[in-house]
Structure 1
Amino acid sequence: MSTEHRLYYTTPCTTFSGSLPLGNGRLGASVISSPSREAFVLNEVTFWSGGPHTAGSGLASRAADPMAELRQTQRCLLAGDYEEGKRRSEKYLQSMENNFGTNLVVGRLDITVNGTMDSEGVRGFERELRLDSALAEVRYDSDGHRVRRRSFMSYPHQVLIVSFESDDPEGLNLEVSIQGQNEAFAARSRDGRIEFDAQALETVHSDGNCGVTGHGVVGVYSDSQEVESKECKIFVRGKKSATILLAFTTNYQQTGDGWREQASRQIEEATKLSVADLLAAHLADYQPLYRRMSITLGPSSGSEPASLPTDQRRQKFEPSNYADPGMFTLYFHYARYLTIAGTRATSPLPLNLQGLWNDGEACRMGWSCDYHIDMNTQMNYFPMLPSALPDLMQPLISYLKRLVTAGKDAAQACYGCDGWVAHVFSNVWGFADPGWETSYGLNVTGGLWMASHLIEMYEYTLDETLWGKQPIRS
């Protein structure tokens, strides 16, 4: 495969920062690989802590006449009385965080290769992410026997597929388990499957009692049909191959309990097909998007840099005075890959601050994995149109429509004004109030900047119905 379309490494990965990302625009997985283990940090775009918010309810004090108070605060600031202007802003316009929430990690899927050590008897270890096929692969020899693992996130079937192959006459011996990030996680195994329930709870950005609930299923099948489940684990004995499937759905914007059965249905449908058929459907869906464009920046100076593992290639890049233009091309294609893997036209939400993938580290700090609409959300969408992916803007447009509705209430509650407003950041619950620090929280142009994407998209596509049936120019 062209070195401009893959990330390639010859060392195992033990941390999230070195993982390889997979995604189908809703469900994400970060692949952590070593000879003895294949692990997946799981994310889902709607798996949020927190809850709905009523416009203005988080303000420290509610002004009797928001418009009059706004004018008085403006007069203070314009007259140079910044101390009084700040005091009034903090009293009447600064929000409290309450149950704003954040996007959390769903859990971690661990697949242990029993009998395999990370060093003893292992030769030729390689792992790669093929950007052109959205496929992660691991290869190595263990005691003279070839082992190959492949994983991909299917958009057509909405499942994570992990396949193991080995020519060892002793066969494969795997142990599959899943664990959550917090105490609101429960798993049970039966009939060769693991079912698990999770809730997005945390106490940094919410009160620890509210958040989206999700349900997942892990299914396994092997060519020997030797699959046993007990103690919330699945034990697999395969002759030459074994396949692990995972599906996960949430109750975000759902009514009733029908959503709980969706993950089981997705597993049922996927297990009717071979890995080859699942991969064929995956490629037929993904590659037309990825192959919409190409770019060439010229040959590298010599053949060595392009053939090196990606981490070694990066180390040589700057010292070589950037004599490897193919590295720029790789960065460009990797950005396109992350865009397609991170969001699709039907995704329930747009890309957030960290895309589709996070390990929860930022969520444990004062930061949040949310929608920073004073810059970060916009940055995620800058490459969409130049790289021929205008249809992947649809989740942002749908989100903006919902934000307008919330922003109308915020404009009235906070300022006594008509129209709509959104400030520095927002969440999946339609938060549009000012932020909780006046130095940045009173930025009133976040929504306007978001809306500018519509104008840019119209300039690229000349589609007058981006906002729905009503022409955008009316």
Structure 2
Amino acid sequence: MKKYFCLVLAFVAIMQPGNAQHLKLWYDRPATEWVEALPIGNGRLGAMVFGGVSDDRIQFNEETLWSGGPRDYNRKGAYKYLDSIRGLLFAGKQQEAENLAGREFLGLKSAEGDRNAWATQIKSILQQKNNPAAAIYNDRSWKTIHVPNYDGWEKEGLGELDGAVWFRTSFELPADWKGKTLELDLNKIAEQDITFVNGIKVGAQNNGEARIYKVPASVVKAGKNSIAILVLNVAGKGGILGYKDAGKAIGIYPVGKPDAKLPLNGRWKYWIQSENVPPVGEYQARYQPFGDIHFHFDVDTALVTQYRRTLNLKDAALTTSYKSGGTTFTRTYIASVPDQVIAVNFQADKAGAINFETALSSPHRNFILKKIDPQTVALHIQVKDGALFGESYVRVATRKGSIDIKDNRIIVKGADEATVWITAATNYRNYKDVSGQPAALCKAALQKIGKKSFTSVLNDHIKEYRQYFNTLSVDFFNPSQVQNASAALPTDRRLAQFSRSGDPEFVALYLQYGRYLLISSSRPGTYPANLQGIWNDLLSPPWGSKYTTNINAEMNYWPAELLGLSPLHSAFFKMTQEVAASGRETAKEYYHAPGWVLHHNTDLWRGTAPINASDHGIWVTGGAWFCEHLWERYLFTKDERFLRDTAYPIMKDAALFFNSFLVKDPVSGYLISTPSNSPEQGGLVAGPTMDHQIIRALFKNTIEASKILKRDGAFRKELEDKYSRIAPNKIGRYGQLQEWMQDVDDTTNKHRHVSHLWGVYPGNEINWETTPDLMKAARQSLIYRGDAATGWSLGWKINLWARFKDGNHTYKLIQMLLSPAGRGAGSYPNLFDAHPPFQIDGNFGGAAGIGEMLVQSHTGFIDILPALPDALPGGRINGIHARGGLVLDLQWENMQLTALVIKAIADGSVTLRYNGVVLPFAFKKGESYKVSPGFKTVEAL
């Protein structure tokens, strides 16, 4: 027994996390772009840290700062058009169905102002004799801006401007162009323009098309010619965008001779005529940035040495260090849950060396700064045309030295140490209530801090964080590799060479980084991670940084149960409860049905109605997919109280909706889902495969939950009856799994969504054990779809190839995900997922997919190393979870399992499987077990 106990201790020892290098992202230079900055977060507050030497920027967010406000998203009585839309689809009249649905079946936008009246008022300036379009207009007092910028004038110093802006420049007419008609190539302008040459209008557009305007020979003259452009933009990025390819210039040239183009890239004069734009109607709200704090230092950057910027995943602490003038400076940044602050600590190895000045600002225009006391400055912001406002308090505490506030800038001189406490809050209380008092919340947080030392706050932060992070450790290695040289490289350079370096440790780091990001953006009691987690620097972020529920919001939580972060799933369940409540009204108004429904997007205000356009916005199974997460939580934990009190009531109400919604297909006689679509392609249809897979899963899970809880027997029988009548999966003429009822799949289609493979992953009805023919067809579909994809799609495909048990193909896609993002998918220098642009779902999908290579438990078996790639011949993972209530610690060498210990968190029985060998065993909650060498027996420890 003593010998056996020693073996167990030895196994536990080797399962501990690897050395600190494995758990760090580090860089040898400051960030210059947002996607080079490093993220910290406590679920509610998030920040991106740039780590500059003379100017250190921290861009920060608060999870409840969104545009919009409480309102009704639902079009009343939309259900009156449901039968007509279905009838048109059944008759093969898709376009007519989409037109009708677009008019009568989409949700309501927020209040919209009169754009035409505003534009008319702006254009009235052209009636003035000497207006900005005139050739001789005096623009000497105007400021200058670089033109063009494909990311909009926001990236050229105009903040998040919406309005009317004039641009002016000039060009010298080449002598041999005299008498020739010219073409002015501006390409894209956002969004409306009126363009003049020498005061004569040469073009105007109000669309997303390229601008190439004819300039008559009579308009131009020898010598200097003026160009004036009035740009009107009421939302999103604005300005003269030019070409996405920055190497392609805007310019002017003789008709038909673009090779002779005279480039117009460079400094243009500009003048903001108006910033007071009318409100823009939106289907749903946008997640908003909060503010920025800059720390300015009097440092000669040319003399700085030993620079290092490091994110330590083990402690959720970020440091910037460097040496200047013989002194070593260190800054430490954290986002604390216990104290609800972002904290920045400044230290040096020389007394009195800490000197800096703060500058607090926000992209929200007309923000207000105010001195609160001799150590504190407050930032007040108001979301444009929205219900929400926010307060941020910034307080500085020092050891020795002085603190002064001048023009709302905090100035620290001669300190031995300084700590900056950053708080932020909004007036949001819940999706129906905006009566909060953010200033009081900020004051309370600072009062709680009191005179606490940074060390005390740091220790409390680390203790709270590690209760989540330390539930899993992982290490991958190649025994034939004596030393991994890549581990010594800065993370951006390590990323650049990963695909050709054989760097298994980087895969382990990526998995742990995904866990870090989920912990940082989704603590219990907060709201769930959105499309960008809690990190965003734009007032008009991509896709509103909302919750896209046709995969992206769900993908964010794929790692939660598998990778030991089950408590973090609660943030997602909180949103599920809220959309279930608001979705009842949508079910009633759109489908005249009981229960609740969620379409393909939601936001902070819990909109559940269809949005955007009828060809992709009318998709009904978002709520049913959310319910899959509730059931998965039960399967992994066997927590019957959670099932009874939280999961089942929501699942039952979702099933009630689909019990009413499903309709008989007049051709096949099956029950089908319509109107809907297969995200986000193919348009509005009757009977997309994905819907049927998700609805079957919902019915099956609800039936099983009903049996476990011994309730709702009559309703259970209804579901059992309808379950068997839902249109089944079908194999098409190319050997593929059909995406629709009709066999119309295009084998050349490379669309990012692979929706009809939901039944493989994250579902489980298609698998090698019970449906091998469908599994082969699904694999064929994925082969046709190809490997190349957006970042989040790569995350999905990684999980799919793991379920197909093809480890080497899975690893190939991991290499694609972990490649530098350029114009395509991959990862940014800070390892954020690139759609592109940034979406965090790929990080979470990729982390989950790495776990799926090691343990799978969706078919009734616990499969050990089911998709291990050749590139990961050795490794260990401690704390990976399996359905049934099990936590596994496993180790392998030379592609062979060498140790397996299992801890039970519930009572039950399962069948283990490894290399074709099956091993049934029963277990008791709280007990641990060891699998013998050769995978022959399971022994209690």
Change (3 A) 1:468 1:42: farther
Matched, 1:177 2:365: no
What do the CA deviations read for 1:204-228 (whole angstroms, capped 9, x no partner)? Answer: xxxxx11321111100011115100
Partner of 1:451: 627
What do the CA deviations read for 1:254-297 (whole angstroms, capped 9, x no partner)? Answer: 66554421111211222421111111111111112111011122
Letter in structure 1 aligned against 2:103: K
How far the C-alpha of 1:413 sits from its partner, in A, is: 1.3
Matched, 1:354 2:532: yes
Structure 1 unaligned blocks of 5 or more: 202-208
Q: Secondary structure at the match of 1:431?
A: coil
Q: Secondary structure at the match of 1:457?
A: helix
Letter in structure 2 aligned against 1:21: P
Q: Partners of 1:171 and 1:471 in 2: how far apart?
A: 56
**Corresponding residue to 1:212 among 352, 369, 388:** 388
Q: Secondary structure at the match of 2:545?
A: coil
Which residues of 2 match residues 282-361 of structure 1 at below 5 A? 282-299=461-478, 301=481, 302-320=483-501, 323-347=502-526, 349-360=527-538
Matched, 1:266 2:455: no
Matched, 1:398 2:574: yes
Change (3 A) 1:71 1:229: same
**Corresponding residue to 2:406 among 230, 238, 249:** 230
Change (3 A) 1:117 1:211: farther
Q: Indicate the structure (1 or 2) with the bigger Cα radius of gyration.
A: 2
Letter in structure 2 aligned against 1:313: R
Partner of 2:317: 135
Q: Partners of 1:465 and 1:79 in 2: how far apart?
A: 48
How far the C-alpha of 1:470 sits from its partner, in A, is: 6.1
Indicate the RMSD between aligned Cα atoms, in angstroms: 1.8
Change (3 A) 1:328 1:257: closer
Given that 1:411 and 1:420 are in contact with CA atoms closer than 8 Å, whether structure 2 keeps it comes out as: yes
Q: Secondary structure at the match of 2:289?
A: strand
Q: Secondary structure at the match of 2:640?
A: coil
Change (3 A) 1:470 1:101: closer
Q: Secondary structure at the match of 1:234?
A: strand
Q: Partners of 2:376 and 2:37 in 1: how far apart?
A: 26
Change (3 A) 1:296 1:31: same
Partner of 1:159: 341
Change (3 A) 1:33 1:416: same
Given that 1:4 and 1:333 are in contact with CA atoms closer than 8 Å, whether structure 2 keeps it comes out as: no
Q: Partners of 1:22 and 1:451 in 2: how far apart?
A: 30
Structure 2 unaligned blocks of 5 or more: 1-18, 111-281, 649-704, 707-941
Return the structure number with greater relative CO, CA threshold 8 A, min gap 6.
Answer: 1
What do the CA deviations read for 1:2-49 (whole angstroms, capped 9, x no partner)? Answer: 222000111121221100100001000100112112211101110111
Q: Partners of 1:377 and 1:87 in 2: how far apart?
A: 28
How far the C-alpha of 1:239 sits from its partner, in A, is: 3.0
Q: Partners of 2:401 and 2:375 in 1: how far apart?
A: 10
Matched, 1:49 2:67: yes
How far the C-alpha of 1:353 sits from its partner, in A, is: 0.9
What do the CA deviations read for 1:434-469 (whole angstroms, capped 9, x no partner)? Answer: 112111111111111111100111100111233673
Letter in structure 2 aligned against 1:51: G
Letter in structure 2 aligned against 1:352: N
Letter in structure 2 aligned against 1:183: R
Letter in structure 2 aligned against 1:387: L
Q: Partners of 2:331 and 2:364 in 1: how far apart?
A: 29
**Corresponding residue to 1:28 among 46, 56, 73:** 46
Letter in structure 1 aligned against 2:445: Q
Q: Partners of 1:305 and 1:259 in 2: how far apart?
A: 46
Q: Secondary structure at the match of 1:33?
A: coil
Change (3 A) 1:256 1:80: closer
Given that 1:177 and 1:234 are in contact with CA atoms closer than 8 Å, whether structure 2 keeps it comes out as: yes
Matched, 1:84 2:96: yes
Given that 1:222 and 1:237 are in contact with CA atoms closer than 8 Å, whether structure 2 keeps it comes out as: no
Letter in structure 2 aligned against 1:180: S
Q: Secondary structure at the match of 2:64?
A: strand
Instruction: Give identity over the alignment, percent.
Output: 28
How far the C-alpha of 1:360 sits from its partner, in A, is: 1.2
Letter in structure 2 aligned against 1:192: Q
**Corresponding residue to 2:299 among 116, 134, 153:** 116
Letter in structure 2 aligned against 1:332: L
Q: Partners of 2:644 and 2:403 in 1: how far apart?
A: 50
Change (3 A) 1:471 1:339: closer
Count of residues in correspondence between the two structures: 454
What do the CA deviations read for 1:394-438 (whole angstroms, capped 9, x no partner)? Answer: 111111111011111011112222221110100111101011211
Q: Partners of 2:426 and 2:89 in 1: how far apart?
A: 46
Letter in structure 1 aligned against 2:287: N
TM-score (norm 1): 0.92
Change (3 A) 1:257 1:329: closer
**Corresponding residue to 1:243 among 394, 397, 419:** 419
**Corresponding residue to 1:75 among 65, 74, 87:** 87
Change (3 A) 1:271 1:142: farther
Matched, 1:199 2:382: yes
Letter in structure 1 aligned against 2:516: Y
What do the CA deviations read for 1:225-255 (whole angstroms, capped 9, x no partner)? Answer: 5100121110011332111111111111266
Partner of 1:281: 460
Given that 1:350 and 1:396 are in contact with CA atoms closer than 8 Å, whether structure 2 keeps it comes out as: yes
Letter in structure 2 aligned against 1:112: H
Letter in structure 1 aligned against 2:353: G
How far the C-alpha of 1:54 sits from its partner, in A, is: 1.2
How far the C-alpha of 1:184 sits from its partner, in A, is: 4.4
What do the CA deviations read for 1:107-128 (whole angstroms, capped 9, x no partner)? Answer: 1011111x21322x21110110
Q: Partners of 2:293 and 2:307 in 1: how far apart?
A: 21
The more displaced of 72-81 and 184-193 is 184-193
Q: Partners of 1:385 and 1:123 in 2: how far apart?
A: 44
How far the C-alpha of 1:91 sits from its partner, in A, is: 1.7
**Corresponding residue to 2:397 among 189, 205, 221:** 221
Q: Secondary structure at the match of 2:392?
A: strand
How far the C-alpha of 1:303 sits from its partner, in A, is: 3.1
Matched, 1:95 2:107: yes
Q: Partners of 2:85 and 2:494 in 1: how far apart?
A: 56
Partner of 1:106: 290
What do the CA deviations read for 1:291-322 (whole angstroms, capped 9, x no partner)? Answer: 101112224833311111111111221122xx
**Corresponding residue to 2:609 among 433, 453, 458:** 433
Change (3 A) 1:255 1:35: closer
Q: Partners of 2:331 and 2:54 in 1: how far apart?
A: 12
Given that 2:585 and 2:596 are in contact with CA atoms closer than 8 Å, whether structure 1 keeps it comes out as: yes
What do the CA deviations read for 1:119-176 (whole angstroms, capped 9, x no partner)? Answer: 2x21110110000000000111101111111111111000011011113455221101
Letter in structure 2 aligned against 1:420: W
Matched, 1:4 2:22: yes
How far the C-alpha of 1:77 sits from its partner, in A, is: 0.7
Q: Partners of 1:199 and 1:467 in 2: how far apart?
A: 41
What do the CA deviations read for 1:169-188 (whole angstroms, capped 9, x no partner)? Answer: 55221101210111242111
How far the C-alpha of 1:68 sits from its partner, in A, is: 4.5
Change (3 A) 1:274 1:217: same
Letter in structure 2 aligned against 1:110: H
